[in-house]
């Protein structure tokens, strides 16, 4: 068993945190816990927000919520997992199944608030929060799933009940958007992708996108989506932009359609005109990742359809600060991953 772990923790530098490299003694699993050797971790937009929020996140916190690794040891009472198993912890360690409650968010969320995350060689996690990594995935690919993949899955399948005959619009080409494209395409749905980059849209078409819209050259992308669907509108929209996009999403949604409110890329102050939803019998679902049961179903679907997460770029462990900067520059297509090997 490893005696010391490389790790990063948050150090306050001016008005923000910076991920700072260090070492710590390897933790030991207690009852109901597992010691995990982390193989890879991935970044999310939320991780950039954590760096900026010095009031609600403690200094010294180990950041990041998404990883995959190998079980090194198990604590007393753990029977499901054994040394050598490849697993991934859920974003909400306490949300095992059933309806969401605010206690899951207020108590513990990996890599934020007071709860250490996964940017360390070894971590201790609750055995009940783990899911088995799909056999065909590398640990780097599996590390891309816990937030971005699970968010897209809950939006489209758990809450959206996506059918093969339906249409889906995803905004952008980041992690959630590309998982939305892959999952919906595997289900047989038709997917529209928006982006400001023709090169990225070409890649999306190669992945199975039905239609693409460059919102720089077509700023009225909601009208383009209506045109593509014969005026009916889109059945599902992964709303990732926030204030700058939510009204167009409402305009583009079909009767009885579902908007999954996920992102805040253009801010938090959303005041959309929701009156059209009433006349369309459409709805907005707030989506925040998912439960362990959701995560298990996602992994079974990924394995059944042999889906490989889209990784834009991998950074070495020592390059973690550069990975943050790369994500901040917002030029990525898919996920940004830190490979611990």
For residue 129, pLDDT beyond 90: yes
For residue 2, pLDDT beyond 60: no
Residue 269: predicted pLDDT = 64
- Residue 119's φ and ψ, nearest 5 degrees, are -85, 65
Question: In the numeric block, which tokens belong to residue 295?
Answer: 């995560």
Residue 1: predicted pLDDT = 44
CA–CA distances in Å: residue 307 to residues 60, 121, 166, 168:
36, 27, 20, 18
Cα(first)–Cα(last) distance of the chain, in Å?
16
Tell me the pLDDT band of 3, cut-offs 50, 70 and 90. Answer: confident
Q: 160-286 architecture in CATH?
A: 3-Layer(aba) Sandwich (3.40)
Residue 246: predicted pLDDT = 87
Task: Report pTM.
Answer: 0.94
- Residue 263's φ and ψ, nearest 5 degrees, are -105, 165
Q: How many CA atoms lie within 13 A of 139 on its CB side?
A: 21
For residue 241, pLDDT beyond 80: no
- Residue 36's φ and ψ, nearest 5 degrees, are -115, 130
Q: What is the DSSP string of 12-58?
A: EETTEEEEEEEEEEPP---TTEEEEEEEEEE--HHHHHHHH-TTTS-
Which residues is 38 bridged to in the sheet? 69
Q: What is the mean pLDDT of residues 131-153?
A: 98
**Percent with pLDDT over 90 in the chain:** 90
Angstrom distance (rounded) from CA 149 to CA 121 = 23
Q: Dihedral of CA 87/314/157/291: which sign?
A: positive
Per CATH, the homologous superfamily of domain 4-146+290-339 is Medium-chain alcohol dehydrogenases, catalytic domain (3.90.180.10)
Question: In the numeric block, which tokens belong to residue 92?
Answer: 């909400």
For residue 242, pLDDT beyond 80: no
pLDDT in tens, 257-291: 999 999 765 445 667 778 888 899 999 999 999 99
**Could you state, in order of their start, the residue ranges of all structural domains in the chain?**
4-146+290-339, 160-286
Edge-first strand order for the sheet with 283-286 is: 211-214, 190-195, 167-171, 234-239, 253-261, 283-286
Q: Dihedral of CA 21/26/31/33: which sign?
A: positive
For β-strands 167-171 and 122-126, DSSP reports them as unpaired
pLDDT in tens, 153-211: 999 999 999 999 999 999 999 999 999 999 999 999 999 999 999 999 999 999 999 99
pLDDT in tens, 114-128: 999 999 999 999 999
């Amino acid at each position: 068993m490893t005696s010391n772990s490389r790790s990063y923790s948050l150090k306050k530098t001016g008005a923000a945190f910076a991920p700072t490299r260090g070492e710590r003694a390897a933790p030991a699993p207690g009852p109901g816990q597992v010691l995990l050797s982390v193989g890879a971790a991935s970044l999310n937009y939320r991780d950039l927000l954590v760096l900026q929020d010095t009031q609600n996140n403690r200094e010294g916190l180990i950041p990041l919520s998404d990883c995959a690794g190998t079980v090194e040891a198990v604590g007393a009472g753990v029977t499901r997992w054994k040394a050598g198993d490849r697993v991934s912890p859920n974003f909400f360690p306490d949300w095992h199944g059933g309806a969401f409650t605010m206690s899951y968010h207020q108590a513990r969320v990996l890599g934020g608030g007071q709860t250490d995350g996964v940017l360390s060689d070894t971590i201790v996690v609750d055995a009940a929060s783990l899911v088995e990594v799909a056999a065909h995935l590398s640990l780097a690919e599996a590390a891309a799933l816990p937030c971005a993949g699970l968010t897209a899955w809950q939006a489209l399948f758990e809450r959206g009940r996506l059918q093969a005959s339906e249409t889906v619009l995803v905004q952008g080409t980041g992690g959630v958007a590309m998982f939305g494209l892959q999952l919906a395409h595997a289900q047989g749905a038709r997917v529209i992708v928006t982006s400001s980059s023709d090169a990225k849209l070409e890649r999306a078409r190669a992945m199975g996108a039905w239609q693409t819209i460059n919102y720089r050259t077509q700023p009225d992308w909601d009208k383009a989506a209506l045109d593509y669907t014969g005026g009916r509108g889109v059945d599902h929209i992964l709303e990732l932009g926030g204030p700058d996009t939510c009204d167009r999403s409402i305009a583009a949604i079909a009767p009885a359609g579902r908007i999954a409110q996920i992102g805040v890329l253009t801010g938090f102050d959303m005041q959309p005109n929701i009156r059209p939803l009433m006349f369309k019998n459409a709805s907005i679902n707030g989506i925040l990742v998912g439960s362990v049961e959701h995560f298990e179903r996602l992994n079974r679907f990924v394995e059944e359809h042999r889906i490989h997460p889209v990784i834009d770029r991998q950074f070495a462990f020592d390059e973690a600060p550069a990975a943050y900067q790369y994500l901040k520059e917002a030029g990525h297509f898919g996920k940004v991953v830190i490979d611990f090997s």
